[in-house]
A and B are shown apart, each in its own frame.
Chain A
Amino acid sequence: MSHVLSLRCKECSREYPVEALNVCDFCFGPLEVVYDLVSIAKATSREKISSGPNSLWRYADFLPAEHNSAVDINAGFTPLIRSRGLAERLGLDELWIKNDSVNPSYSFKDRVVAVAAAKALEFGFDTIACASTGNLACAVAAVAARSGLKSYVFIPSNLEAGKVLGAAIYRPTMVAIDGSYDDVNRLCSELADSYPWAFVNINVRPFYADGSKTLGYEVAEQLGWRAPDHAVAPSASGAMFTKIYQGLKEFEATGLISDVHTKMHSAQARGCSPIATAYEEGRFVIRPVKPNSLASSLAIGNPADGYYALKVIERSGGSAVIAEENEIADGVKLLAETEGIFTEGAGGVAITGLKHLVETGKIKRNESVVVYITGNGLKTTELVADVVSPLHIEPSVEAFEAAMAVRAGR
């Protein structure tokens, strides 16, 4: 049963009916879903959640759409791994890695699209769409393939091959747009106003965004029903970052966990860091930028939820941190070498950000930390192509042993 009461403007608090709306008519502020947390508290329990499906739908009481198997590709309930090698390397006693790169289409976007698509069906849409630099396109196309919904994905024409293929394989109508980032943005805004589709991150954005709350719920459940001292997550639009915190706070408000003291840390890459730059300058005004980053999935120059991400940082006592562009691949490699997890550039930003937070003393050795890895490295292999340097030998044992001797410096 849905516990949704209404939509509400995050700026002026005007309320709206539960429809495919994302912007307040009066102040153009973003709308968010309002839940009846008292009713959720009565309906939910740790036992009920634990016996639910091994997907994000185990938290259905907290979501704005009913579980619909037609659009369910089993997103969510991804592993939370206790780190050994990386923790030791960074000097942390309790580091956890939320590996969301193993979702069905290999990024956390499966969560938000799962909820958006379920809601789109409830609203009677027959088409879902998105404008994406990769991961979102993959998720939309995959969910559409499963559900029979039609799908349109709009991508910049210079996208990495792995991400294009990762979406194209599901056979959406894929449109590659020639032009600048701003051109793509403008065109997709116009299309969203013109076509009767569920543009997942536009007209059904309030519902879509709430799929990311499950990243907060899952971590709390997987930690044994508690919140960590710190959470480190990469930020693009800032929506996921704010929703992780909302998820933790909702679990607290409904009595499932207590004492949410988690400090939220947002990581961005130097080439697109509007949220972290505003944080460093001590202001709550986001200055939009033209993205130019190797972490393409974080390349959002005018983040819709940037202001709210800054408020979460302030409220939680967290921070924002910047990874230099030449540190991103190093972060990807460090995670791979120490934990056996291959992430994309956004993960490299998160790992580098975590490293800086430890180095600057914002995270202490004895504190519990969760770092969110939100996308898979196999879609952006170009970023770390330099690691491929095998030993070339003749097909003989002698050649192998000679090569080993050279490698050992003998």
Chain B
Amino acid sequence: MKTIEKVRFTFLDKLIKEPVIHKVGRDFNVVTNIRRADIQDGIGWVILEIEGDQQSIEDAMEWVRSLGVRVDPAVGDVVEG
């Protein structure tokens, strides 16, 4: 079954130059769709939609995290004080 997730990747320093999103689509059989992004000195973020089966998405996110990219829900934390 296809799942769609909305996530935010936050990149620091040298990771900004890495084609992370391209590799996610190429290696994990998921479809990525960038909706909004901002890159500044030393930091950048991308908000994107990822579509695929649940396991593929989880594998992709785990790989992205392993690179040092922070992965969060696109809408911010849903846990509140």
Contact = CB atoms under 8 A, between A and B. Distances in A.
Nearest to B70: A288
Given A135-B81, A283-B40, A288-B70, A28 B76 contact: no
Contacts of B10: 287-288
B73 A299 contact: no
B60 to A, nearest CB: 14
Contacts, number: 101
A306 B75 CA distance: 11
B47 interface: yes
Contacts of B38: 285
Interface stretch (A181-189, A214-222, A386-394): A181-189
A172 interface: no
Contacts of B64: none
A23 B76 CA distance: 11
A288 B77 CA distance: 10
Interface in A180-208: 181, 184-186, 188-189, 192, 199, 201-202
Given A27-B35, A288-B10, A132 B77 contact: no
Nearest to A134: B81
Nearest to A301: B77
B75 A22 contact: yes
Contacts of B45: 285
Contact of A303 (B12, B43, B74, B76): B76
Among the interface residues A156, A297, A304, which one has the most CB atoms of the partner chain B within 10 A? A304
Contacts of B44: 285
A133 B73 contact: no
A185 B78 contact: yes
A189 B73 CA distance: 8
Contacts of A299: 81
Interface of B: 6, 8, 10, 12, 35-36, 38, 40-41, 43-45, 47, 49, 70, 72-81
Ordered nearest first, which 3 A-B pairs have the shortest CB separation? A304-B76, A297-B81, A302-B72
